[in-house]
Amino acid sequence: MKSFHFSDCILGAGLWCLFCLIRPKQGGILRNEDVQCTSKSEGKGVRKIKKIEGVASTLFVPMVARIDVSKRFPEFFYDEKSLELEEFLPEAAWKGASEYTNIVSSSRYYNMDNMTVAFIEKHKTCNVVFLGAGLDTAYHRITKRLGWRDTHYYGVDLPEVIEKRKEFCGVDSREVMIGGDMFAMEWVDSVDTGLPTLLLVSGVFQYFREPKILAFIRALKRAFVHGELIFDATSTSGLKFTNHFIKRTGHADARMYFSVDDCQEFAEKCDVTLLECRGFFKDALQILKGKLKLTTRMVMKFTDRTKRTVILHLKLNP
């Protein structure tokens, strides 16, 4: 029988937690009772959130992480909009959350938010497009930091997800929500492609095979002359651990396929320029020094050191 070192157990648990954070293409169905709530925005009074059916249960997991970290570690990450929505979350959303899962998710948002802010400050008039938007509240976090400016915000996801997002989060007049398959590229017609455009994909690519991702990035390259793409990826070895745990828990339909072992090599495959390959946890480990559990810190350090999970920032054209 093969023996397992303590580090193997920690890594496996950590990568399983990472799986829980990434929204699969198809997920479990939430069937919670009707929720009565009072909207705090735009004086709309009482708003009824109807039965939430046909939505992947993991759709709420990143919001749970943002809420938890905003309460426990606001010095690192703070999401006012998610906190406002906490009372409206279904009970099932909180199952399986842990300190590590919540830190991973919030670290991803922390880094992507900072990269988005830097892009907006550099380009002034520009587009920011969230692909696979889900219930992400990045629009609210970014505008809270920068104000409105001359930035055009778009969110793209499957039609049923966009409808639930509108119902649950509401839509500001300055953001455009587009329902459709992001790979079909029809959403591009709604965006001014002549402007500098930042495209963000968080926790989506892992569930598709590399040829589809490569084709998609090449399509983005053709569509956005002044475009940049930011997305997160897991290494091949990381996927092996994660898929092992997925199989053991009976979630075979959530198997992950896409991985990146060498950021520069992947950029060359796409014929784009690699601007940055960033780990998740550098800032989190510094800001939260002495505040996290030992096991959480161990997995974070190991993951960054071995580049098991990274954020890639690509420039689509010269």
Residue 196 is part of a domain; what is its CATH number?
3.40.50.150
Residue 252: CB atoms within 10 Å: 9
Q: Rounded to the nearest 5°, which phi and psi values hold at 105? A: -60, -45
For residue 70, tell me if it sits in a domain: no
Is 102 within 8 Å of 79 (Cβ atoms)?
no
**Closest Cα partner for 214 from 178, 257, 154?**
257
Mean local confidence (pLDDT), 107-118: 98
For residue 200, give Cα distances in angstroms to 27, 81, 240, 245, 295: 22, 19, 25, 27, 30
Pairwise CA distance, residues 82 & 9, whole Å: 32
For residue 175, tell me if it sits in a domain: yes
Convert the pLDDT of each residue in 200-243 to its tens digit: 999 899 999 999 999 999 999 999 999 999 999 999 988 887 77
Q: Tell me the HSE value of 111 on the side-chain side, using a 13 A CA sphere.
A: 25
Q: What is the pLDDT of residue 26?
A: 35
For residue 200, tell me if it sits in a domain: yes
For residue 165, tell me if it sits in a domain: yes
**Mean pLDDT, the chain, whole residue set:** 83
Mean local confidence (pLDDT), 267-277: 98
Assess whether pLDDT exceeds 60 at residue 49.
no
Assess whether pLDDT exceeds 90 at residue 279.
yes
**Closest Cα partner for 72 from 47, 96, 48, 99?**
99
Q: What is the pLDDT of residue 56?
A: 53
Structure tokens at 264: 């520069």
**Closest Cα partner for 113 from 256, 278, 225?**
278
For residue 44, tell me if it sits in a domain: no
For residue 151, tell me if it sits in a domain: yes
Assess whether pLDDT exceeds 90 at residue 305.
yes
Number of independent structural domains in the chain: 1
Q: Which domain holds residue 202?
A: 6-27+94-315
Convert the pLDDT of each residue in 170-190 to its tens digit: 888 889 999 999 999 999 999
Assess whether pLDDT exceeds 90 at residue 25.
no
For residue 209, tell me if it sits in a domain: yes
Q: Which residues, other chains included, contact 222 with Cβ-Cβ below 8 Å and sequence gap of 6+? A: none
Convert the pLDDT of each residue in 72-96 to its tens digit: 999 999 999 999 999 888 877 777 7
Helix (H) or strand (E) holding 48: strand 46-49
Assess whether pLDDT exceeds 50 at residue 278.
yes
Question: What residue spans of the chain are helical by DSSP H?
Answer: 6-21, 61-72, 80-85, 99-123, 138-146, 159-169, 210-223, 236-248, 263-270, 282-287, 294-306
Is 81 within 8 Å of 66 (Cβ atoms)?
no
Q: What is the pLDDT of residue 58?
A: 63
Between residues 143 and 57, which one has the greater pLDDT? 143
This prediction has a pTM of 0.83
For residue 217, tell me if it sits in a domain: yes
Q: What is the pLDDT of residue 101?
A: 85
Structure tokens at 48: 């009824």
List beta partners, residue 179.
157
